[in-house]
Structure 1
Amino acid sequence: NNPSTSTSSSSSSGEDSPSTEDSPGCSGLGKAVKRKMDEVVQPLDMYSSVANKMMRKMGYQPGTGLGREKQGRVDIVPASEQRGRRGLGLKIKALNKDVVIDWEDEKPPSAEEVVDWFPPYDGGMPEKGEMEAWADVGKKKLVIDDETLFCDNGVLKTVLECKSIFDDLEGQEMRKARMRSNPYETIRGGIFLNRAAMKMANMDSILDFMFTQPKCLGNNEILYFADVCAGPGGFSEYILWKKKWRAKGFGFTLKGPNDFKLGDFFAANSEFFEPHYGVNGIDGNGDIMNTSNLEEFQDFVLTNTNEKGVHFVMADGGFSVEGQENIQEILTKQLLMCQIVCALSILRVGGNFVLKTFDLFTPFSNGLIYLLRIAFENVAIYKPVTSRPANSERYAVCQGYRDEDRQLFNYLIEINDQMNEFKKSSVNQDVKAVVPLEILTGDQEFFNYMKTSNESIAKEQCKGLAKIHAFTKDRSLRETKQAQVRLECLKKWQVPDRVRSAPQKTDVSSLFYKLTGLKEPHANSESKMLTSDNLLSSIRGVFNYKCYVSSVNSSILVSMGGSYIFLWNKNNRRWLNLTQLKCLIPRDTILEVEIAQELKGESKGQHRVTTIHIVDALFLAGDDMRALNYAERMQSAAIFAEAIRKPSCKHLNLVRTKEIFRLEDAGKIFTQLKLKTVKGGGSIPRPCYEITNSDLCFVPRGIVFVRTSQDPWSMEYSRSQNRKYFFNMRTNESVFECPPDFNAPYDICSTSRLIWEWRDGVKVHPDQQHHRVNNISTDQLLNFVRSKLP
């Protein structure tokens, strides 16, 4: 029975209410009975009305038993103190201990947070020789209670005592109390894989979206990021949910049960994420404390980001320290350092970094934070509200990477080699510091910040632990603002308040209809053929067209996610499952493509590679692109193709966009045509189009011209103003600003295409021997274009 409900329960029923004393006509006998009832109820007033009523019916009198002769037990039988799956009669020491911390003065829960940044570091980058003398090697240390330089002795002692109280509790008891006591607990993972994803949503919002919208990210540039020691991948799921197809992630974590679980990404498309495990790539072990793995991952990331590096790095490493929670900082020191090493090796200038840490009491940990302060323009130690108040977790947030020569990376990777040598030799030696203590304490701004931060977080942690302890002892206690706080936080972080659910399964026809509103792709007529007779009448203004080199007829491709991709067969009017292609394309994607045969090498040594060439984009991972102009659609498709490219998976077929030219620049196409002997194509060399920045080529069937303007507008050139302008053919209006209805959407572009086919007899390369008169020649096309230019 719950004592806290006795008052309201006893007054809820007229039968048990004492108000009859004041009723009209109440006799003296009735008052005497009422006084007798009060005597009976008084000893039981701490119990519910139901318990009182039951005892009265059994004839209970204070101080006597319930037997016929008033015999039997007089004192009240205590409630069972049995907790968890323990032996009967076992006393749990933690429940009898008192925590001398007042948790009731905790800060009221709120979605508003303040991040306290370090004062900017105004010193220069230390020289290599200077840093080499910084490392301090000494006897390995496995105690933390004497680390009182960066935290007050009393505060450190209290937090260690608070942690130790829970040693005798079962995990389930602790979790249940934590669930009821933490006002932010019910936020959980929301629509995401786990709570880590929601932490990233929390931090990204509070830090002005410095991760999903970093200052170093250019316009129309893919967002490159790395997720380090972060399986199963909650951090990445949030980033990919937020950025969709505009981001590409590189993952580096330990292979095994805690690996990335990409199949569990329900909120985002995992096709934009590529794990790598160091030496041997996807077949490596992912041990970040192995220097060779770090160097291999650095090479992989830089190679696939044009040697620039990623825009930001997330590091969420940790491992179980059950039973040794008080020395977690010491046990995880090398892991913490190696995550920093990894970030410093792959970040681009101006990039950002977020690193999970735990206690920061030792000189070693503080030295690492000091190096981060040197490497970045802004640094803060920050504990988001999604990080449970009772744990020692916090995050080092770093903005604006500035170590262009990666000097600090080179220094710390040597420290890592030294620590690995100590582990191999089993000597009782360790690296105790990476920055001399006199430098850490001599920088008063740094020292004061770290001491204040450590003590502030430790005090809040003690309150959180004390609150859990109180909620463990009294299971009737419950935090009442959880629902309200959840709604406030999700709204501020711009995350929908929905339950996580797997994408609905459907068939390709239903998916196509859901996205486009059409039962099947339009039965567009084939592109109009260009000949020498209709060239002048077909192309209306060279500034209105873009072009690309075609290899085969195009068709509509739909992806249902992963390797489930389908191609529309125009002849049979049905979808074909492209099982012969090995591609990973995100769900809800619709493209117009050519399935091209790219060639590598020549003659008998030549081999073919099947590649998907994107010629237009309708939907990219659910985003409707059809209303955008052709240049924007193709630019977006190029970002999309780069984001799903997985160079470590050699078995996958490549997806690339066509190289698009303005018609006025069509002459550039012919500089990329080379005569080559094609395997299976006879002994006569054929024109082959060489793909830019590649050793591959393909045999073209001709050039497709795409009209990018729509009636009644046309782009023309003003000789007097020496600039292009827009002319309305219906009203004869001329304007220099692009009209909102000038650009053609997908439907118009797809139905107004022209093609110049390079059939037998068309001379497109100067070394070809003959040309038929009725076909357009290269010179004829280029002369036509030149005649329209100023």
Structure 2
Amino acid sequence: MSNNGSQKRKDLEKFTVNDDFEGQPLKKKLKLGTESSIAMKLMSKMGYKEGRGLGKHEQGISQPIEASKQKGKRGLGLNSNKKGLQPSEVQWNFDAEELGKCEVIDWLTNPSFISEISPNWLENGPVKLALDNETKFCSEETLTSILEGKTIFDSVEPEDMMKARTRSNPYETIKSAFFLNRAAMKMANMDSAFNYMFTSPTNPDNKNESLIARDELLTFADICAGPGGFSEYILWRKKGMCKGFGFTLKGNNDFKLEDFSAGPPEMFEPHYGVKGADGDGDIFQMDNQKEFEEFVRWRTNGRGVHVVLADGGFSVDGQENIQEILSHRLYLCQFLVALSILRAGGNFVCKLFDLFTEFSVGLIFLMAHCFHRVNIFKPVTSRPANSERYLICEGLLQTDLTSDILDYFRLINSKMAASYLGDKSSNWMIRSIVPCRDLTSSETFFNYIVRSNNFLGEMQKISLHKIKIFVQNVNLHDHRQADVRRECLSKWDIPDETKTKNFDEQISAHKCYCSLVRNTYDLPTTALTSRNIDDIKCLRVVKTTVAASTQRCLLLAVERNQVFMRNKTTWERLEYVTSIPKNTLLDVEMVEEQRGDLSRLNRGGMKVKVIHVYDVITWFGNDVTGLNFEERHNLLRLLISASTKVTRPHVTPLHVKQYHNLADVGENIFNRLHYGLVKGGGQHAPKLLLPITDPEDNLPAPASSTFTNNRRDRYMIPHGIYLTVICPLPWIIGHSKSSKKDYYYHVHDRVSRYDMPDDARATYEVCLKNTFYWTWADEVKMLEKQEVKSKQTNNTLVTKEMFLEFVHKLSRL
């Protein structure tokens, strides 16, 4: 140590460390003691004597000024003792508290109490902003205890209240896991509790039968649910094998798709009513409701969605006791939209709060008539001290009564719009929508509501009292939180992981590719020639599709907005935006489609960059290469359709290649060819053109939609045909005239069978090895007026005539 350092050490040793700082680190003790000693020396020089006041006549204070102990914005004179919240050593009996008691699955089967709806049921009355006498559907004790339990915390600082709630709730540390927010965990909780009815819905009359048909994905709608926790869970649970529609208020409450780290947002499309992506998302507006309904029906081929999720709510600070009254219209509009877009047999879940008023109970009564059965449920992930609960509805009944109830809801909404509760000038409100005599005369329904309100009210009263104890005793903590978290995550099949951030830096495409595939795939390069054309032995085993580019390539989505294309061995990042989930690998070609009227393509047309997809290898990390050709391509069409966002025109579209039977090559390809000038092709260089057909092009957009005027005829410039064998030798496919079914025939063993043999499966790898490319280049003449090279330099070239003769020969076998 230097001399200077030694001197400093000696100086420090001169100071006495105050006993008040014992137990602290030496460094801190010396520092504090040093400052204290220096201050005392300075004060002594100014005349200060210990135990006496400051000032010339020692008239000042003699004790140090204490630090303020005021918390937050509490004013002078506030006395928490008035509410019985004074600090105390009071304890809580954890052993007497039964975990998970609130999760009671108590189904109410369709009551079938009414057969028709009457507009005369609406009952108006003066605006009422109190619940103190709403005891028709609960005991007076339940209502009083809940209202008083909430009021008692009015004098508690929000920070103190939050800390007490956090320490007292045994389920608090579940939080959001690796999802966007806590709402995702609520949906995971409810999905598990109800046997996954929201991610794997079944026929309510036959639980062994899936509600999702073989030719579709799970479809769902998430309304009033920004930032999107419900949707992120569904997307994650289904591994991207689904399509979601979102409808929520624009602004601070909008969906935050960029923050989805678990489920792929590419399979989710927000819509905000009138003006689509540019709308305001106000669910109260009837025009928005109608526009969203038409959009969902259009994008689901008129079927509607399997599941509707609703999680609407808004801030009621200072008005917690009338949250139910303030939420009447929100309840109504969420129910209304759900009934308008759900398919028959579909399921619905909606967040509610208290259910004490005739208006709210009337809504539940009518919804119970629209579904196979309903359940009022409070998951453990919903904080036990609040009024939150969920209405679970299973199996939409597509009846005339359901349609009448939907129309009735629309009528109520229009009446509420005329004098909305939020308008301070209004002095009346709709107090009831179903006669009270009907609500109470249906004994099954009435008893169900009373039982539910009293039970949940008792749970809430206990939890409010527990928080009160924890406010008083800041040393209390529910020690079971960590164990409860592990048990719940395991029960709900949620990995015990934390949220990972989405990094913007470039990730190695090659490394991602190697992690997704077992084998390195070389795209088909085998040319169809006059020498190998006879290697194709059976007409029924070949599928054909037209190439619109000179080369196929692999398209890989590594992360969001990080999409790469591989030509041969080099990965190149694409600059334009595509809508495919991360860890997705596709077999594609990059195409410039010609759009517009055929006779004016060279002047009035336009060129559009499009990605044509031949096949799918992985989708959101799911390896599908082992599926048969037909299974794989049916799935691919569903996935591309589901990821297509028609409201986002700036996204580069993906279209699935249309495959045809070899026997139909003339009708589907040759007979549809045109020859003419195109945009960017030069005034004296006509090109072959083939119209592009897509099944979705035939689906009419909603009449009010902005998309109807954007549709144009599509053409591509063909470069040749790929012929893919979808049943490898020694198997071929035959057709039985007696059974009118296709069958598999082993050419060596001469064995026939209707079910597909494992070695006849056309996996992706099998298809690659058995694909031929018939290139037309500039030498194959497809139309009479087409100009080609005068001399053919390739002796093995397959001409159109040779190809048609080959197809005709196979058809005779």
TM-score if structure 2 supplies the norm length? Answer: 0.80
Quick one: distance in 2 between partners of 1:275 and 1:684? 42
Partner of 1:704, secondary structure, is strand
Contact kept, 8 Å, 1:530 with 1:757, in 2: the verdict is no
Partner of 2:614, secondary structure, is strand
Quick one: distance in 1 between partners of 2:805 and 2:446? 70
- 1:130-169 equivalences in 2 (<5 Å): 130-169=117-156
Which residue, 689, 692, 705 being the options, matches 1:690? 692
Is 1:781 aligned to 2:778, yes or no?
Answer: no
User: 1:60: which partner in 2?
Assistant: none
User: 1:57: which partner in 2?
Assistant: none
- 1:605-644 equivalences in 2 (<5 Å): 605-644=604-643
Is 1:561 aligned to 2:579, yes or no?
Answer: no
> In structure 2, do the counterparts of structure 1 residues 778 and 642 end up closer, same or farther at CA, with 3 Å as the change threshold?
farther
Cα drift, residue 429 of structure 1? 1.4
Q: Which amino acid aligns with 1:225?
A: F
Quick one: distance in 1 between partners of 2:74 and 2:215? 61
Tell me the alpha carbon deviations over residues 752-788 of structure 1, each in whole angstroms, 9 at most, x when there is no partner.
3112334456455699799999643379537625644
Which residue, 750, 755, 771 being the options, matches 1:737? 755
Partner of 1:354, secondary structure, is strand
User: 1:542: which partner in 2?
Assistant: 539
Quick one: distance in 2 between partners of 1:124 and 1:577? 62
Q: Which amino acid aligns with 1:755?
A: Y
Q: Which amino acid aligns with 2:727?
A: S
Contact kept, 8 Å, 1:189 with 1:195, in 2: the verdict is yes
Pairwise CA RMSD of aligned residues? 3.1
Is 1:648 aligned to 2:647, yes or no?
Answer: yes
Tell me the alpha carbon deviations over residues 489-514 of structure 1, each in whole angstroms, 9 at most, x when there is no partner.
21221111111212566222221222
Contact kept, 8 Å, 2:102 with 2:459, in 1: the verdict is no
Cα drift, residue 582 of structure 1? 2.8
Greater mean deviation of Cα atoms: 272-281 or 97-106: 97-106
User: 2:44: which partner in 1?
Assistant: none
Partner of 1:548, secondary structure, is strand
Contact kept, 8 Å, 1:670 with 1:764, in 2: the verdict is no
Is 1:309 aligned to 2:289, yes or no?
Answer: no
Partner of 2:185, secondary structure, is helix
Q: Which amino acid aligns with 1:351?
A: G
Partner of 1:599, secondary structure, is strand
Q: Which amino acid aligns with 1:357?
A: L
Contact kept, 8 Å, 1:312 with 1:351, in 2: the verdict is yes
> In structure 2, do the counterparts of structure 1 residues 767 and 381 end up closer, same or farther at CA, with 3 Å as the change threshold?
farther
> In structure 2, do the counterparts of structure 1 residues 119 and 721 end up closer, same or farther at CA, with 3 Å as the change threshold?
closer
Greater mean deviation of Cα atoms: 634-643 or 495-504: 495-504
Partner of 1:254, secondary structure, is coil
User: 1:700: which partner in 2?
Assistant: 718
User: 2:478: which partner in 1?
Assistant: 479
> In structure 2, do the counterparts of structure 1 residues 743 and 182 end up closer, same or farther at CA, with 3 Å as the change threshold?
same
Quick one: distance in 2 between partners of 1:403 and 1:716? 43
Aligned residues: 702
Cα drift, residue 250 of structure 1? 0.9
Cα drift, residue 188 of structure 1? 1.1
User: 2:18: which partner in 1?
Assistant: none
Cα drift, residue 723 of structure 1? 5.2
Cα drift, residue 125 of structure 1? 4.8
Contact kept, 8 Å, 1:309 with 1:347, in 2: the verdict is yes
TM-score if structure 1 supplies the norm length? Answer: 0.82
Cα drift, residue 527 of structure 1? 3.1
Contact kept, 8 Å, 2:385 with 2:461, in 1: the verdict is yes
Q: Structure 1: any 5+ residue segments left out of the alignment? A: 1-49, 51-79
User: 2:511: which partner in 1?
Assistant: 510
Tell me the alpha carbon deviations over residues 466-511 of structure 1, each in whole angstroms, 9 at most, x when there is no partner.
0111111112222232222222221221111111212566222221
Partner of 2:724, secondary structure, is strand
Partner of 1:168, secondary structure, is coil
Which residue, 56, 70, 80 being the options, matches 1:92? 80
Which residue, 95, 99, 124 being the options, matches 1:109? 99
- 1:33-432 equivalences in 2 (<5 Å): 91-93=79-81, 96-97=84-85, 108-110=98-100, 113-123=103-113, 125-126=115-116, 130-215=117-202, 216-403=211-398, 406-423=403-420, 426-432=425-431
> In structure 2, do the counterparts of structure 1 residues 769 and 683 end up closer, same or farther at CA, with 3 Å as the change threshold?
closer
Q: Which amino acid aligns with 1:311?
A: H
Q: Structure 2: any 5+ residue segments left out of the alignment? A: 1-22, 24-67, 203-210, 698-712
Partner of 1:430, secondary structure, is strand
Which residue, 570, 573, 577 being the options, matches 1:574? 570
Partner of 2:450, secondary structure, is helix
Q: Which amino acid aligns with 1:748?
A: V
Quick one: distance in 2 between partners of 1:483 and 1:789? 73
Contact kept, 8 Å, 2:246 with 2:271, in 1: the verdict is yes
Q: Which amino acid aligns with 1:556?
A: L
Contact kept, 8 Å, 1:676 with 1:687, in 2: the verdict is yes
Greater mean deviation of Cα atoms: 356-365 or 290-299: 290-299
> In structure 2, do the counterparts of structure 1 residues 161 and 124 end up closer, same or farther at CA, with 3 Å as the change threshold?
closer
Contact kept, 8 Å, 1:667 with 1:782, in 2: the verdict is no
Quick one: distance in 1 between partners of 2:361 and 2:268? 33
User: 2:58: which partner in 1?
Assistant: none
Quick one: distance in 1 between partners of 2:486 and 2:521? 45
Tell me the alpha carbon deviations over residues 700-731 of structure 1, each in whole angstroms, 9 at most, x when there is no partner.
22221112234544444567987544344566
Contact kept, 8 Å, 1:101 with 1:463, in 2: the verdict is no
User: 1:748: which partner in 2?
Assistant: 766
User: 2:656: which partner in 1?
Assistant: 657
Partner of 1:647, secondary structure, is coil
Tell me the alpha carbon deviations over residues 657-706 of structure 1, each in whole angstroms, 9 at most, x when there is no partner.
11122334445523872526342455867441331343323222222111
Contact kept, 8 Å, 2:109 with 2:372, in 1: the verdict is no
Quick one: distance in 2 between partners of 1:407 and 1:672? 51
Contact kept, 8 Å, 1:138 with 1:430, in 2: the verdict is yes
Quick one: distance in 2 between partners of 1:656 and 1:404? 38
Tell me the alpha carbon deviations over residues 396-437 of structure 1, each in whole angstroms, 9 at most, x when there is no partner.
111111245633222212211211111369331111112121
Contact kept, 8 Å, 1:111 with 1:485, in 2: the verdict is no
Cα drift, residue 610 of structure 1? 1.7
Q: Which amino acid aligns with 2:110?
A: P
Contact kept, 8 Å, 1:563 with 1:585, in 2: the verdict is no
Contact kept, 8 Å, 2:678 with 2:686, in 1: the verdict is no
Q: Which amino acid aligns with 1:543?
A: R
User: 2:208: which partner in 1?
Assistant: none
Partner of 1:237, secondary structure, is helix
Quick one: distance in 2 between partners of 1:243 and 1:555? 28
Tell me the alpha carbon deviations over residues 434-456 of structure 1, each in whole angstroms, 9 at most, x when there is no partner.
21212211211111111111111
Tell me the alpha carbon deviations over residues 634-660 of structure 1, each in whole angstroms, 9 at most, x when there is no partner.
222212211211111122221121112
Partner of 2:273, secondary structure, is coil
User: 2:37: which partner in 1?
Assistant: none
Tell me the alpha carbon deviations over residues 509-549 of structure 1, each in whole angstroms, 9 at most, x when there is no partner.
2212222367xx65556232244x543x2312223322222
Q: Percent of aligned positions with the same letter in both sequences?
A: 39
Contact kept, 8 Å, 1:561 with 1:584, in 2: the verdict is no
Q: Which amino acid aligns with 1:776?
A: T
Cα drift, residue 389 of structure 1? 1.0
Quick one: distance in 2 between partners of 1:508 and 1:685? 36
Q: Which amino acid aligns with 2:772?
A: L
Contact kept, 8 Å, 2:539 with 2:810, in 1: the verdict is no
Tell me the alpha carbon deviations over residues 349-384 of structure 1, each in whole angstroms, 9 at most, x when there is no partner.
211110100000000001111111111111111111
Quick one: distance in 2 between partners of 1:417 and 1:722? 56
